[in-house]
Amino acid sequence: MSWSRFLAVLIKEFRQVRRDRLTFAMMVGVPIMQLILFGFAINSDPKHLPLALVDADRSEFSRSFIAGLENSAYFEITERPAGEKEGDAMLAEGIVQFVLVIPPDFSRKLIRGERPAMLLAADATDPAATGNAIAAINAIGQRSIGRELAGPLASLRPAEQPFEIRIQRRYNPEGLTRYNVVPGLIGVILTMTMVMMTALAMTRERERGTMENLLATPAKPVEVMFGKIVPYILIGYVQVLVILVVARLLFDVPMVGSLALLSVVLVVFIAANLAVGFTFSTIARNQLQAMQLTFFFFLPSMLLTGFMFPFRGMPGWAQAIGEALPLTHFLRVVRGILLKGNGIAEVAPHLWPIALFMAVAGAVALLRYRQTLD
Amino acid sequence: MSAPAAAAIIDVHGLTKRFGDRVVVDHFDMRVTRGRIYGFLGPNGSGKTTTIRMLCGLLTPDEGEGTCLGYDIRKEAALIKREVGYMTQRFGLYEDLSIEENLDFIARVYAVEGRAAKVKATLERLGLHSRRRQLAGMLSGGWKQRLALAACLIHDPQLLLLDEPTAGVDPAARRDFWDEIHDLAAAGLTVLVSTHYMDEAERCHELAYISYGKLLTQGTVAEVIAGAGLVTWAISDGDLVALGHALRAAPGIRTVAPFGTTLHVSADDEAGLTAALAPFRSAGLTIKPIEPSLEDVFIALMQGASDNFTPPAQ
């Protein structure tokens, strides 16, 4: 082994890395981003989960129980719907994580010793998000209502709890993680492949020297962009079809809702990701840089959208970033359609942010696309 | 188009392009009339490619204006692109598409009428019909160049811009290529071609020589040679290497260039040559006055130009 030849390669390599400033920035930027995301944003024990309260009882017992809930930090009463039905709609749309229904005769039955029941319905599409809160609720009930049953009523405090909290794990009664993960994978796989494909499609033209020829033709930016995007939309559909078939046959994932509605949302979601990829391709000078930019977009999409970790467990700033990403909204839609059987009414509130993202990313891509070599 | 400009396919004035602080093209004027083959010469980095790109709307000039095919090069780039065939220096077609697919793509982008027939005719003219399903990337340099030229012509352009089309192509293929260019020009197509080869320069109707972004001379081959006002002697026998080194330093000598076993020495007049060679007369040299070649002229021009570009005194 020759020391000088080894040095020659080593020095050349350092010089090349130093010259590629985007790669250099990524090598420093990605670890920092990962540290911040994993260190601050990720929390697998989410607190302050939104709860819709239907208190038909309005007794000191129910008030005490509600106070106990709020003190527990696991629950936060954000909605007070008029009835159970309205509460269920909120659960379906994803506005709340739980609906708590205290029936009108709760305290009467409690005093009579009839062991009344209240109902806690949880959105169990993401079992990780609800698990700890459900585990805590019985203890909260015991403590708060038990305290009320003091003095002359202490006789009613038997060893067994004098009331029952019925827990319904909606949409995923067995709490199977794969019901949550497999539909989510549709979004994650599309995000990765779609962004990467288009980011590479344009930089490849530049790298292989065909870009100048393409620019010299009368083809307009819009024509080039749509011409490059549409084939990948079709590829995206093939991917989704494969995932759905495997999800059904291998993982037995329920598909309650309309697949036609899902395919409409898919167009918007795929187009949004392709627009991002197209924007990257106007920034990246070579295919390596395009890959790095894709990764830079993919990382927060994995971590901040509720795919890997419960969305509601994240701090406010991380949720704000997450809300801006199309995958966040798509995950809500795809889980909503497949697991909850959501229709257009529940889907629409999550569809427009994806459409908005697509419009903005598409505009940026078109503005950045240069028809000249200036 | 006004009447006198009707014949001018390219008519630009004061074209200037800067990249950062570097002036790549410096107040360049050019006028090319219909059916002419206009050769564009100059050393590497002299601004040939930049000028061609400004002509077809791929680069926006920083200064200057003009027309290409009667369209404003600043505002009507989209219209220019439709009627120009531009062959890039690097092979600009898709190596992972077949020959036929490449031609089909180009024909579609230009919205060529009777596309399928046109593609088929092009393939047959090239003699590539039997190989039409072969990937363009598998072709040799000469075939790639022929394919690229055919692709440029598929939409029947008015003007061909060829940026060093014959770089890396063997002499036989180059000769065929130039025969085709002359046929096209005879049919009314205007051709602007950049090249490094002197034999190709001599095949052009008109020439322009640029260096460091400045136009140094233009005209027909005879005009360019006459305009340089060089007197050239061919020297043979004796120690030509030592003589060459000595003459390069001699005052009054414009260029010294070895051509095989002879040395071409040029000066502004015969007196200068006589004076410079006086010390070496005894060395048994054979001296023959010759007509300066285009190459002698260009070497002289290039040296003159670089003198102008020595950094200014601080």
Residue whose pair of structure tokens reads 């830079």 in the numeric block: A296
Q: Using the beta-carbon criterion (under 8 Å), do B88 and A213 form an inter-chain contact? A: yes
Q: Does B57 touch chain A (CB under 8 A)?
A: yes
Please give, rounded to a whole number of angstroms, the shortest distance from the CA of A201 to a CA of chain B.
Answer: 13
Q: Does B90 touch chain A (CB under 8 A)?
A: yes
In tens digits, chain B (314 residues) has pLDDT values of: 444 444 789 999 999 999 988 899 999 999 999 999 999 998 888 899 999 999 988 999 999 999 999 999 999 989 999 999 999 999 999 999 999 999 999 999 999 999 999 999 999 988 888 999 999 999 988 899 999 999 999 999 999 999 999 888 888 889 999 999 999 999 999 999 999 888 889 999 999 999 888 888 899 999 999 888 888 989 888 788 888 888 888 888 888 888 888 889 998 888 888 888 888 877 678 888 898 888 888 888 877 765 444 444 43
Please give, rounded to a whole number of angstroms, the shortest distance from the CA of A220 to a CA of chain B.
Answer: 9
Q: Does B82 touch chain A (CB under 8 A)?
A: yes
Q: Does B105 touch chain A (CB under 8 A)?
A: no
Which residue segment(s) compose the domain that B266 sits in? Answer: 229-308
3-state secondary structure A304-368: CCCCCCCHHHCCHHHHHHHHHCHHHHHHHHHHHHHHHCCCHHHHHHHHHHHHHHHHHHHHHHHHH
Ramachandran region, residue B114 (left: φ > 0; alpha: ψ -120 to 50; beta: rest): left
Residue whose pair of structure tokens reads 């090319």 in the numeric block: B32
Same domain, B13 and B103: yes
Same domain, B244 and B186: no
- Give the model's pLDDT for residue B313: 41
Please tell me which of the candidates A212, A218, A374 has its beta carbon nearest to residue B110: A218
Output the six-digit token pair for A306.
């509720």
pLDDT digits (tens, 9 = 90+) for A1-31: 889 999 999 999 888 888 888 888 888 888 8
**Domains along chain A?**
49-170 (3.40.1710.10), 176-368 (no CATH)
CATH, residue B268: 3.30.70.260
Please tell me which of the candidates A209, A214, A372 has its beta carbon nearest to residue B90: A209
Same domain, B245 and B277: yes
Which of B137, B145, B151, B184 shows the shortest CA–CA distance to B164?
B145
Q: Are A247 and A332 in contact (CB under 8 A)?
A: no
Q: Using the beta-carbon criterion (under 8 Å), do A219 and B109 form an inter-chain contact? A: yes
CA distance A323 to A352: 12
Same domain, B158 and B298: no
B9 located within any domain: yes
Which of A372, A340, A28 shows the shortest CA–CA distance to A179?
A340
Same domain, B151 and B185: yes
CATH, residue B77: 3.40.50.300
Judging contacts by C-beta atoms under 8 Å, the chain B residues touching residue A202 are none
Sequence-distant (6+) residues with CB within 8 A of A330 are A187, A265, A269, A350, A354
**Backbone dihedral angles phi then psi of residue B96, each to the nearest 5 degrees:** -95, 15
Q: Are B294 and B198 in contact (CB under 8 A)?
A: yes
Same domain, B240 and B114: no
Q: Are B209 and B216 in contact (CB under 8 A)?
A: yes
pLDDT digits (tens, 9 = 90+) for A228-266: 888 998 999 999 999 999 999 999 888 989 999 999 999
CA distance A22 to A236: 29
CA distance B123 to A254: 55
Judging contacts by C-beta atoms under 8 Å, the chain A residues touching residue B103 are none
Q: Which residue of A has its CA nearest to B105?
A: A214
Q: Using the beta-carbon criterion (under 8 Å), do B92 and A373 form an inter-chain contact? A: no
DSSP three-state, residue B12: strand
Q: Using the beta-carbon criterion (under 8 Å), do B93 and A219 form an inter-chain contact? A: no
Tallying the residues shown for chain A, one arrives at 374
Sequence-distant (6+) residues with CB within 8 A of A104 are A56, A57
Judging contacts by C-beta atoms under 8 Å, the chain A residues touching residue B58 are 212, 215-216, 372-373
B32 located within any domain: yes
CA distance A108 to A363: 62
Same domain, B252 and B129: no
B314 located within any domain: no
- Mutate one of A213, A215, A372 to test the B interface: name it (highest B CB count within 10 A): A213
Residue whose pair of structure tokens reads 């840089």 in the numeric block: A289
Choose the final residue of a domain: B219, B245, B273: B219
Same domain, B116 and B172: yes
Choose the final residue of a domain: B169, B186, B219: B219
Q: Are A175 and A131 in contact (CB under 8 A)?
A: yes
Q: How far, in whole angstroms, is CA A371 from its chain's centroid?
A: 37
Judging contacts by C-beta atoms under 8 Å, the chain A residues touching residue B92 are 209-210, 212-214, 216
